[in-house]
Structure 1
């Protein structure tokens, strides 16, 4: 029997120190690789979450910004797109739905414009004007929408002159099928009504309310309005001849205030 340092004897009698060291080193490398991989996975996940959160925040900010910048809200313009004149807490609330290209609306204004102005001034009623634009087809220049835009422009500037401006707009109402009044003519009417701030003229020409007017018009028609003018007294549609009778709404408002 051999008694020399035979490698096979080492294999039989115990572990090879070199092999054991190599095996341990290999395990350490694997452990390191696994650890690095885990860190990378976590890092990638963190980056992905960060990007997703940032995108979500950005989307939310964009939505909030678009709402906040909607030019027709705030001040004398209500959330539903009406121009409010007078005390909102008045016992009688009148709502007038009109299109500035509508001949019947012109007749209504001639008959009851002064009655509404007086009721708003003495506190008997608040008056909301819902100016919509469904008659663009009645002109070759979308006059209905341009006039509605001008309505928001002047209302945002000063409601104390609004009813006077409205009366002039109806007095100068263009014929159906015509080109309608030009933007310069709309500016001149506003200036004649006392809206001399250059910002009003810019607003009329730049038409920032176009998209909003479409939304308001669609919402108004979907709510059940079938024609213009539509006049509501405390939420009830007024269907009497009073709306086309000179100062006919004066007695209607007085009765509603009792």
Structure 2
């Protein structure tokens, strides 16, 4: 808007000046409103909306970030990692194949809530897996890539599947969560960094593993898994189900590692543990 340049003190010009000042103020207010709205939208996209709470050890609350992502899957070749389950909901199994209880975990390696869940529940999950009481199925999603931008969720998931080929998925999975960057940073998109982290798992870094990471061998598998997450209508990550029951709906959403162990033991009571 072009404003009148006159500085005359006459009554008529003064009225025009008042009108111009009023128009300017309205314009400034509108611009401020639009700027605030844009900022709120940007913050919502980056942070995700909070939709559920899951308690972990020590009273730490795990906030489940909302889903979203691109919602589309590229027409890439889908290569199946060793021992991975195929079908509509591809997954990586950890633990005894014939364990009486199954824990289904939908996760994103860039998701802070997933990192909190893993930190709190990991010791109990490992104990139950190693004793043959629990089989865990990991489904990989790429929500943060879609919400905050970047490719770290996809690249880290592919690297974890490359580790599965070397029978070291669980070890590298835990390393990734132990070194998770802040959500707004996309460091996991750096394949050299992922290979550097893989060095913390004895015997994992080989020419085959390095090529698998650099080539994105399992990107199609990850995208199919994320599509399954979206189509299933889950509320966010982590989504954790024990024997088909969503833990976010158990104990008023306040399930702890001790509760999880008790629930598995009760479900397995009188049954023989599974063996590898």
Normalising by structure 2, we get a TM-score of 0.62
Larger mean CA deviation between 95-104 and 76-85 belongs to: 76-85
Off by >3 Å, runs of 4+ in structure 1: 137-141, 240-248
CA drift of 1:70 comes to: 3.5
Match of 1:173 in 2: 180
Q: 1:233, 1:127 → 2: CA distance?
A: 9
Secondary structure of the structure 2 residue equivalent to 1:135: helix
Given the alignment of the two structures, is residue 135 of structure 1 paired with residue 116 of structure 2, yes or no? no
The count of aligned residue pairs is 189
Q: Helix, strand or coil for the counterpart of 2:114?
A: helix
Mapping of 1:91-110 within 5 angstroms? Answer: 91-110=100-119
Q: Which moved more, 1:218-227 or 1:120-129?
A: 218-227
d(CA) in 1 for partners of 2:255, 2:113: 9
Contact 1:94–1:125 under 8 Å retained in 2: yes
Q: Deviations over 1:54-83 (max 9, x none)?
A: xxxxxxxxxxxx99x73225x321113211
State the shift of 1:138 in Å: 5.2
Counterpart check, 1:112 vs 2:104: no
Aligned to 1:157: 166
Distance 1:244 1:101 in 2: 23
Mapped to 1, the partners of 2:225 and 2:267 lie a distance apart of 28
CA distance, structure 1, for counterparts of residue 150 and residue 105 of structure 2:
25
C-alpha separation between the residues in 2 aligned to 1:101 and 1:94? 21
1:85 is the counterpart of 2:101: no
Describe how 1:213-252 pairs up with structure 2 within 5 A.
Answer: 213-239=222-248, 240=250, 245-252=256-263
Instruction: Give the conservation status (yes or no) of the 8 Å contact 1:99–1:228.
Output: yes
Distance change (3 Å), C-alpha of 1:219 and 1:76: same
Distance in 2 of aligned mates of 1:122 and 1:108: 21
Equivalence for 1:76: 83
Per-residue CA distance 1:161-183 (angstroms, 9 max, x = gap)? 32222221111111112132321
The whole-number CA distance in structure 1 between the counterparts of 2:104 and 2:245 is 9
Q: Give the Cα–Cα distance (whole angstroms) in 1 for the partners of residues 110 and 79 of structure 2.
A: 23
Residue 197 of structure 2, aligned match among 185, 189, 196: 189
Q: Which residue of 2 aligns with 1:9?
A: none
For the aligned residues, what is the CA RMSD? 2.3
Distance apart, 1:87 and its partner CA: 1.7
Larger Rg belongs to: 1
Question: What's the CA shift for 1:140?
Answer: 5.0
8 Å contact from structure 1 (residues 107, 244) kept in 2: no
Gaps of 5+ in 2: 1-74, 270-276
Residues 71-115 of structure 1, C-alpha deviations (whole Å, 9 max, x = no match): 225x32111321101122211011111100111100000011121
Q: Which has the higher strand share?
A: 2
Q: Name 1:256's counterpart in structure 2.
A: 267
